[in-house]
Amino acid sequence: MAAITIAPNDVLIVVDMQYDFLPGGSLAVADGDAIVPLINNLARRFSHVVLTQDWHPADHISFASQHVGKAPFETVELDYGIQVLWPDHCVWSSHGAEITADLDIPHAQLVLRKGYNRAIDSYSGFQEADRQTPTGLTGYLGERDLGRVYVVGLATDFCVGWTAIDAAAAGFDVTVIDDATRGIDTAGSLAKAWAAMAEAGVERIQSQDILD
């Protein structure tokens, strides 16, 4: 019997399962495609599923191509703090920005786009990287009276981690399903993200805790 039973008002947030983050994409997360069947399986246990979609204009400030002399994975100091620079990815209406067709969650109720402001990145589904601009997701979950938040997807150390931490900051109980995520791990970012999530009170489980 599974250790954890999903309640009727629990919600699964599936983060950024888009072609650019999958093998073959411009910012591919190693082994990212391996979690798709697991996420599909987990999603069947939830009555409520939200998908996030990284969604950038072609001249987005997080792209290394927008900073003279900078390469992907270097950092730059912006008004709101240190920004990791990325290869161009998830550009509006491009194939790479599409959510993978292998994701089989027809009952997903909301696709939340983030990162559409040119001058502000948004790893988190709840709040942009300036830590001031809300996406509206806190209000959506609250208005629908949804309960514990479970988070899966890509990438563990950026969009999954920030989404989980911001959900906790917004007052939700939050759990990350470890083996239904994959990380980028640049400059120790994966270990740092798990430490920050633990610090924020985010629980870390394995999918078998729900599925077995």
Catalytic residues: 16, 114, 159
Rank residues 46 and 63 by Cβ distance to Zn ion and give the closer one: 63
The pair of structure tokens assigned to 11 is 């919600």
By the rule CB under 5 A, 16 interacts with Zn ion: no
Spacing of C-alpha 128 from chain mean position: 12
By the rule CB under 5 A, 54 interacts with Zn ion: yes
Rank residues 10 and 16 by Cβ distance to Zn ion and give the closer one: 16
Say which residues have a Cβ less than 8 Å from residue 95's Cβ, sequence separation at least 6. Answer: 19
For Zn ion, the binding residues in 101-140 under the rule CB under 5 A are 115
Say which residues have a Cβ less than 8 Å from residue 194's Cβ, sequence separation at least 6. Answer: 156, 161, 204
Binding residues for Zn ion, total number by CB under 5 A? 2
| Residue with nearest beta carbon to Zn ion | 54
Contact yes or no for 59/88 (Cβ under 8 A): no
Contact yes or no for 36/173 (Cβ under 8 A): no
Q: Before 119, cis peptide (omega within 30)?
A: no
Rank residues 25 and 115 by Cβ distance to Zn ion and give the closer one: 115
Q: How far is the CB of 154 from Zn ion (least distance, A)?
A: 11
Contact yes or no for 161/196 (Cβ under 8 A): yes
The pair of structure tokens assigned to 185 is 């791990």
Q: Choose one: 47-55, 68-76, 95-103, 145-153; the region binding Zn ion (CB under 5 A).
A: 47-55
Q: How far is the CB of 54 from Zn ion (least distance, A)?
A: 4
By the rule CB under 5 A, 20 interacts with Zn ion: no
Which residue's structure tokens are 């990145």?
Answer: 121
Q: How far is the CB of 99 from Zn ion (least distance, A)?
A: 14
Rank residues 48 and 60 by Cβ distance to Zn ion and give the closer one: 60
Residues that bind Zn ion (CB under 5 A): 54, 115
